[in-house]
Structure 1
Amino acid sequence: MNGDSHAPMDTESNENKKSRMEYVETVPSKVVHIRNMPNDASEQEIALLGIPFGLLENMVLSKKAGQALIEMQSLESAIHMVSYYREYQVTLRGRNLVMQFSKHQHLELHSENTNIGDAIKNANCIVQQDLCGANCGIPNTVLRVLVDNIMGQQINHTILHKIFYRYGKILRIITYLKNNQYHGLIEFENHIHAFVAMLHLNGQNIYTGCCSLRVEFSKNRGPLEVRHENDKCRDYINNPLTEEELINLRRYTSGSMTSGTSGGGAPHGGNPTGMVQHFQGAVVPGMTPQGLHLPVGMIAPPSTSNAGINDLTAQLAALAQQSGLALTPAAVAATASFMAMTAQNNAVGAQSVPSTPNLAALLAAIQGGTVQNPMMSHLTGGNPGPLGSHALSQHGTAPGARPPPNNNGGTVLIVSNLHEERVYPDALFTLFGVYGDVTRVKIMFNKKDTALVQFADPQQALTALQFLSGQRLWGKTMKIAVSRHNVVQLPREDSDNGLTKDYSTSLLHRFRKPNSKNYMNIYPPSHVLHLSNIPPTISEEDIRLLFAAKGFEVTGFRFMQKDKKMALVQLDSIDTAIQALIELHNTQLTENSHLRISFSKSAV
């Protein structure tokens, strides 16, 4: 059989099955079903998911369907794997992987794809080294971290906790300086958490171009002893995080790690998602999986050469010195990477490295600008006066293009003060989907005027928050904030009451294509709607009747083109327009045409 297809094993490629099958509780099985994979997921990446839990027996990939089946050699390994990844969401190139037990207890077929065999062999080679000592009776839960090339940056227990906590519960952290090098000891609740963190963070950079991590299991197997807490050590059991610290941690969660193998990443939290992230230092030579659950967003632009980044860094450092601006080396490297990345986001054919005059303009903006975007505040090494609006217009995202992710928000929004008798998941999916790809919606069972909305990335969530917070829907003013939750959990099948839905595989996502024109047409809610994909057989009267059938009176109408494929429809209020968009977007007009609706910036 082919490694890219697996019809006999029934990987649930049917769209209707996908919507019903997320986290369906089945009998525990040695076979783990993985879904919502990117189509370019490699065999090595998928095999790596099973390494911390035990030996792999077999694997089948259906890349076209974005699904895989992994058979572990023991049932216990599979149970631990599913349990862990349900608690700690794993993301591969911006897509949240969904894992559950397969209905198959054993994989009868073996793929003819040699890459699968190699991936299983390499993965099992790592497992057999028993790096965490699980087979010796006393598993090691303590990681030893060495931080190289710090370039003047501060390293303390807070920084390490922010980086490592997303892989498991941390009990204690101790940092110290030895032979002029920063060391850290991080104790996790169990060895699996530590193992996953080691696999994913070894070789990563804390900041772009500096503070690279070397992560291994420590000879000190714990428990660590913290006698006097300070900025170098903390016992998180005796002194748990405060509410304020938890809020700051959630703001940080969207990502801050860069690849140690990249020639220069984007600034701390400022790169678009979806690019490949490499990680080095894998235990077995040749095992270099890409992008597994790495913090979103810190990747070098794929076509920007190391030499180009280095030249740009040197120019920027020289200009900063000439202008008397105090930039740390790390801030210079981060700024250079950001400028190269944003230059690539401009029109095709634009230079990939900004010119010297633009560098000077950026420095002028750094010196005199005011903060317009929180993600840029690190560029001056924490000093006042970060990047202002002028610099963003020169070097930031082109007008209408998708901006870099903002790390001050998560991917989940909490929406309150909804009309509890009228709200339903599809309504929120459609409305919030105007500003980003909504992957899950959950209406609270005990508080039905409140819902959680999860997006594909933090920037989309931020955009929706900015445009929709304070808008009226069904006569009530929506209140929106970033949620403390990192992911919207799906219910058990037997407890599903229709209040939670998964849309991760929906074909109605507006931003599935990286260069979609929808990025150029994101506007705040308006009483004027933009209609598109109108077939030539549909008249103005047909559209007016369509709106009237749902109870909406059209107060103004105009076709925008001679071929009448697009039109503007005016309603009596923004609230009414929002309701009309919810009700009528994707309405089937003819056999092959579905109506597309968004908010308009124009008047009728």
Structure 2
Amino acid sequence: MSSSSGQPQFRYTQTPSKVLHLRNLPWECAEEELVELCKPFGKIVNTKCNVGANRNQAFVEFVDLNQAISMVSYYASSSEPAQIRGKTVYIQYSNRQEIVNNKSSGDVAGNVLLVTIEGVEAGDVSIDVIHLVFSAFGFVHKIATFEKAAGFQALIQYSDAETASSARNALDGRSIPRYLLPEHVATCHLRISFSAHTDLNIKFQSHRSRDYTNPYLPVNPSAIEGTVQTTLGPDGIKKEPESNVLLASIENMQYAVTVDVLHTVFSSFGTVQKIAMFEKNGGMQALIQYPDVSTAAVAKEALEGHCIYDGGFCKLHLSYSRHTDLIVKV
């Protein structure tokens, strides 16, 4: 979509200002990307990024009014819309004449980095790989990973802002080395900004979060740890120890998933003895117990990647749990 397809770049005629308001930016858009778009029209004295509820708006202040007018006029008459990372950006005059708060949280150096890992699904980059890459710059205290609309993200905590800055400067825009990634991942770019967090609250060691400063932290029982999965099958492929209990994580929960819904889905393969549901990292997970390993294996094979509802909603990801008998409190 190269033409602006009749989408108005301006909502109404406005009083010109040397501050421009940009909307529909890519999530976690970096200051450098804004500057790159605006600098052909003049000198930029200030920016304010990641504004608005969805953090997809920004303000850019030019040194003089005519530069702002020239940018607005150019895109108002151009057949090519303003774009950042392939997204059409809508530009209008701001109703403010200057940017007062010049530092957005993403620019103020802190000891915690927010890393967006572009081009991968959550399972493609393990927490151990992230740890390996970021440990090159200093001792990593904690890592928490999560999935957001922007993709797979990680918060990485160092002891101080200097260490975090050196990691950000070295790695922002770079890719994780190819040999550390699964074969199906083509490219994987890191976008790094500073987080407003200073100390991450990590309750469990799991495949999603680690605290490297506390060896006594309990391991989350529902976490499927890499350490368990090191048995190799006859084909030399890593093989998970099988179990009669499956751990299901449910992605893209547009509809409610209840114990009854899960029971219906999983009992088509055999008797479901117990189901336990819980929330983890903002997503729903469930443990489903069958009487034996072979039934669980058949269900896992059949349902992996399967969506409970049409349209890609409530997608199941299945692995074997370490549990063999669930204690379900009524």
TM-score by length of 1: 0.24
Higher strand share: 2
Which structure's relative contact order is higher, taking Cα pairs within 8 Å and 6+ residues apart? 2
Higher helix share: 1
Highest Rg: 1 or 2? 1
TM-score by length of 2: 0.38
